[in-house]
Structures are given as C-alpha cells and as structure tokens.
Amino acid sequence: MAIQFLLFVAFLLSSFAYGIDANSVQLGSTIVAGTNSSWRSSSEDYAFGFYHLNSGRYLVGIWFDKIPNKTLVWSANRDNPVEIGSYINLTRSGQFVLQPLNGTSFSIYEGSNTASAVMQNDGNLVLKNALSNVIWQSFDSPTDTLLLGQTLNASRNLYSNANGSVDYSTGQYSLEIQQSDGNILLKAYRFTDSAYWWSDTVQNTGVRIIFDNTTAFLYAVNATHQIIFNMTTEVEDAIEDYYHRVVVDDKGNFQKWIYLKENGSEWRSVWKAVTEPCTVTALCGVYGFCNTTDSDNHTYTCGCLPGYTPLDPTAPSKGCYLSEVKDLCAGNSSGSNFMVEVKEIQHADIPNHGYVFFDLQVLSGVDQETCKKELLADCLCMVAVSLGNNCFKKKWPIVNAARIFPKTSNSVMLVKVPRVANDKESSSLAVLIVALVSCSLLAALFIATAIYHHPFYQHLMHKEAPPKPKTKPMDINLKVFSFQQLREATNGFKDKLGRGAYGTVYGGILNLEGQQVQVAVKKLEQVEDQGDKEFETEVQVIALTHHRNLVGLLGFCNEQSHRLLVYEKMEKGTLSNFLFGEGDKPSWESRVRIVLEIARGLLYLHEECDNQIIHCDIKPQNVLLDSSYTAKISDFGLAKLLMKDKTRTNTNARGTVGYMAPEWLKNAPVTTKVDIYSFGVMLLEIIFCRKHIELHQIEDETMGDDLILIDWVMYLAKENNLRAPVIHHLEVESDIKRFERMAMVGLCCVNPNPTLRPSMKIVVQMLEGNVGVGVPTIDS
C-alpha cells in the first residue's frame, strides 16, 4: 500500500513538473468529424472540435458550448470546410494537423514540438511543449471575434464572416490597426483602402486593442501602455455572470455582445462602433442603395439604383448590375442613339468620408438641371449628386449610395440609365423579327432540298471521306511532377515565399537533369472549376510563352485535387520590395531599365505570343527580379486566356484596388487595355518611387495633394511642374527630359477611357523615344 501511495505521489509530481493539467490533451489524440467529440475547457464553457455547418460540412473551430446555439468564435479553416469523416490529429510526433477526408492535410500549427494541448477556460486553445511553455495559441490568429483577455496587435486583422451564421467564410469587412500611425480602421477592404470608421488615434506606435478580462472594457493602448482610445465605457454589474465577445460582423459593424449565463436566451448588443448602418461602405453592395427607415438611422433596407437589378434577390447586400449594358463611349454614341435618361433620387448622396478623390469632378455654380446635362454629356460618368450650387460627378464603382437623415436631406442623386423602349415599339420590332426569321427559314429549306437532289451532291455522298490526320502532340519542354515530389522538394511546404490572388508560393529544391535547381512552387487555390484536360491545355499555353521578361514555367502537378505550377525561383524577390523596402531608393537607371523590361514583357503577351494573354493583375508584387535584377512578369496566363479571334470579354472584376482599370467595374468589355492602365499606375510608382496611395501627405501646397499618385502627377503635369518632386535628385534631374516623357506616358496609360489608351506596342515605342508622346487628357 505504501508503495502504491509513493507511486501516486510520484505521478502527481511528474505531472506538475511537465505542466499536465486536468483537461490536458495528450499526443496521439484525434477528433473525427461527425462523431460529436470535442476537447472542452474544464469549465465546459468552451469546446474545440468540428463545428457542424448547415451545408453538412465542418469547420475546425472553438465555440461557446453551454448555450443552445453554440456560437462559433474561431476557426482554422473558415474558407475550406471539410466533409464528415475528416479528422484532427495531435500526432505522436508533435504535429497538429487537419486531415480532410478527400484532400491534403493542413497544418493548424506548423511546428512539430508539441507535447500537449489545452482548451482553456477563457476560450483560448493553447499548445505546449515539454517544458509547459506555450508555443501556439488560437488567440494569436483571430478570425472575426475577440474574447475576454484577448489582445489584437497591429500585425493581425479581424475579418467579418461572409453571411452571419450561414456562411463563415471570409467576408468583405476588416478591422485593422495601421502600423504607420496607429489609427484603428473599419473598412470594406475588397472595395477600397479608405475607412468608413476610424479611432483617430494617429501619431501613436505599438497600438493594440485589449479586451480586459478584469473590467470587460475594450480599449486601445500604445507602446507605453497608455490608454489612447476607450471603446466601451459601461459594463454590467457582475461581468462573471455573462459571456462576452466583440465581433466584426457581416454588416461591417464592430460590436460588443453579452449573453447571460443563467437562463439567457440570446446575445445582446451593448456597444457598437457604427451607429448609422448606411454609413458603412458597400453595405448594399456595388450599385446598391441603402435607405434608412427610422428617424434615428438605426434600421435600413437595401435596394438598387434606378436601372439596376439585384444580383441575388434573396440577398440584397450582394449588390446590383446594370439591367441593360451600353457602351456610352463608343465612337458613334450619343444621348439620342442610346436613349439614356437621368433618374432622380431625392434626399440621397454618395458620401466620400472626406476622401475627395471619390469625386470624378466637382462643378461649382451649377444648378440641378445643369448638373443633369453635365452628367448626360460625360460618357465616363454614370452618377452625380446635386447639392446646392455644386455638382459632384462620382467615380465608379458606386458602393455607398445612401439616404441618411438629416445628412443627405438637401442632396439629389442623379443616375444615368438607358431608356427602356415602350411596349408599342417592342411589339412592332418583335413582329418584324418573326417575319424575317420565317422567310429566312423557308428560303433555306427550299435551297437545301434542291441541293440534296442534285446529281453532283449524290455523287459526293457516296464518296469515301479521306482519313483524318493524326494530331501531333505539342512539343514543349515541360515536366510533370507528382504531388509527393513537390511536397518533398518544398520540405512539406514550409518555406512560404508569398501569397497572391491565385494561391500560395513555396520555395524548394528540385533535381532536374542531374542538377539541384531552386524553384518556386505555386499551390493554386482560387482556380475555376475545370477538367484535367482544360487545366493542362491552359498550362501548355503558359509553357509556350518564352520571353526574357517572363518568369519561366518548369512544370506542373495535376493530381486529384492538387494543382500546382513550378517556376524558376527569382532570387531578388518582388519589385514591390525593391522599390518600397527599407534602404536607399533604386538608382534612376535601374528604374528606367525595369520599366522597359516590364513593357516588353507585356508587349509579348499582348501581341507577339501565339495565344494572346491578358494578365489582369499587373502590379509590383507580380513583377519579380532575378539574380541580375532583370524584371520578369509572373502570374501571367492564370486569368482568362483570349484567343486571337476573341479580343473582348465580359468577366468578373479581378485585380488589385489601385491598379484596376475603371472598366472592370462597369460591366464594360474588357480588353488588353486593362493591363495598359495597371502598367501606367506601376510606371508612375517606379519613376517616382511612391506607392499608388500615400497616407502621409506632404505639406508643400505648391506641389498639390499627393494622397493619390495618379491625381498628384496629373496636377503636376497640368501645372507644368513635373520637375518639382525630383529637383533634389541629381541623377533624375540630369535626365529630366526622359523623366518627364515617362511620366506623360504613364498618364496616357491611365486614361479613364480605354479607347484612348495607347497599345503596348506604342507604349514601348514612346518609352524608347521612337514615337512622340501624345498629350494625356488633363481635367481642368
């Protein structure tokens, strides 16, 4: 008996030594989707495991476990739910992985030194090593929610769900802390860089948001731990009687919610950042209209602007599209030809939240009727707002049209729409079409009968057709890799080089023809659903492009659900880091060379390769530099490919805010001119060494407002003052004529009207000085 007691004491001592607590999860533990098993906190308030969705699939997540609706607060795979039978495994080798029933395993924690896991009473799932040190915790990678005791640093953002408790995937709203100045922002990050709510905590460093577990206050502190912004100022009498959470919701608000632990029935909002919902950007989607329905502006309905139709009638927040698309800037267009008219919306506006660049043009001393005429006369403008004696012509897309009392009481929104033909005209046209079609069919039938009975055709019918020639396989030097080969080459996809619109890129080493070659492996994640044959055809098209200014494709993997592309690795990284990283600016000569190299690469894609390719996402992050700093375009061919006989296409908006051509957002035909626009923005960034948007404006009033690079350069050009920003840069000053020429080329490329932008061939000729630079359109 004494020996048993001593053994028991020894076990307790060893448990304390290694930090094993009562609900500690040991190595080798698993949870299987569909079995209702989970790892619970000792209080049983929280649980970790598979969260069952209405779709029948599962998220790996953490939720409040004692309340009936099991509110989800964190997820590891919010954008990729898995099937029943998938499992979570805390492996005996110390890894923490999700293994889908069909698919590749996913590391929840990238390391392999885990000794145990604990679901804590504060809702934080932690992993510990053998010394009981926390090596990973869910609190460090939040999704849309903060819990008591949790801190949000500037390196992390909160992202809303796409649709409440129906769709937990990443939505369109974010809460972020700007590292540059400490301001806390709420914004519709997929639409614009501008915020619709902010804390105004500028000129602070080390800012973080704290959800205090002692007071239940939510506040922001700076690097010296000084409270700089209080969000909540009132709390319940006994905070321990409630569950607490703060959430960025799918309506774009940041709210604190509480739930009474005993006999509670629902979550109750006790604080919200946004008190007037219609001030939220894109709350009703692109071309939607937010209409407040009460005097306090707390409730609202979503509709569409006149002439627009809901994308999804069951979900008004998804936005609208133009019911009848017309190219108002075509060469033969006119108001009468297209039968356009202007619809009025009383007491409505498109607020710009202080960002004046949301206005295409502001006309002073203009009444409402004149504003209408100006709108009709401008083929590039679809909406204007008349307020007093001012006419505000708006840029597209329209994402925040709203009626908010009394803010918009004196405004009239003017919307230009195609006029709908009347019923009499439609009926006459229909009768005419039916008559023409009937006559055509009868004539075709008569001709076909005559030909069929002709002796010459009878002879041809009995003649044996010649055998079809065998298709010659494409002769391309492209290697096919297995998924296992690429997993081993990248050491389990551990060396993450970057992430783009189409997937994540990993570094690795492959043995190719007896040589060790450094490669970049892109795991495609956002490709269109297509068959193996279609995918391999697109890969072959990419492989057939050969140019010194394009990143070379070495091979691919197309195995089950795995689609990966293998590229040569570019040692010097992205052009973005080269231009805007720490250290001295690149030399003027190197910047000029890089501009020309990118231009020549785009010219090849547009006009010189067999299959014309529109890149659709030209930006500094998609230009890579090799060991000799030669610029090479990456990610080409991953957007929609165009054959020679398909030069125009209508497609969903893609690309990056700031570089996207306006026609992406107007349902207008998309051509190679979208790349010209993006190139123009990037050209200006390269020669000025400035990002397309600068949050810190210069104070020199003689040089204009430099917030938006395009607008700023346009202002300098109009004032004949392009020399001013580089007057202290001797290398550029000594080559000022070429600098000015390149700036004017950039402005020509960003013309809002795609038909007025030069082709890539002309752009190269202008940059080389072989063709004169046209005068870009400069608004007065």
Residue 448, pLDDT score: 53
Residue 124, pLDDT score: 97
**Cα–Cα dist 247/143, whole Å:** 9
Greatest C-alpha distance within the chain: 114
Q: 575-779 is classed in which CATH architecture?
A: Orthogonal Bundle (1.10)
Q: Are 98 and 109 in contact (CB under 8 A)?
A: no
Strand ranges of the sheet holding 553-559, from the earlier edge strand across to the other edge: 479-480, 553-559, 562-568, 515-524, 503-512, 496-499
**Cα–Cα dist 638/636, whole Å:** 6
Count Cβ atoms below 10 Å from residue 586 Cβ, excluding itself: 17
Q: Are 518 and 506 in contact (CB under 8 A)?
A: no
- pTM of the predicted model over 0.85: no
Establish whether the linkage from the previous residue to 406 is cis, with ω within 30° of 0: yes
Burial 694-726 (b: 16+ CB within 10 A, else e): eeeeeeeeebbebbbbbebbbbbbeeeebeebb
Residue 453, pLDDT score: 53
Residue 248, pLDDT score: 97
CATH code for residues 143-274:
2.90.10.10
Residue 377, pLDDT score: 85
Catalytically annotated residues: 617
User: In CATH, which superfamily holds the domain spanning 476-569?
Assistant: Phosphorylase Kinase; domain 1 (3.30.200.20)
CATH code for residues 21-141:
2.90.10.10
Residue 523 annotated as binding site: yes
Residue numbers of the chain with a pLDDT score lower than 50: 1, 5-19, 330-337, 356, 423, 425-426, 429, 456-476, 640-653, 699, 780
Residues of the chain within CATH 1.10.510.10 domain(s) are 575-779
Q: What is the DSSP letter of 585?
A: P
pLDDT tens-digit profile of 391-408?
999 876 688 899 998 889
Residues of the chain within CATH 3.30.200.20 domain(s) are 476-569
Establish whether the linkage from the previous residue to 397 is cis, with ω within 30° of 0: yes
Residues of the chain within CATH 2.90.10.10 domain(s) are 21-141, 143-274
Residue 608 parent element (H or E): none
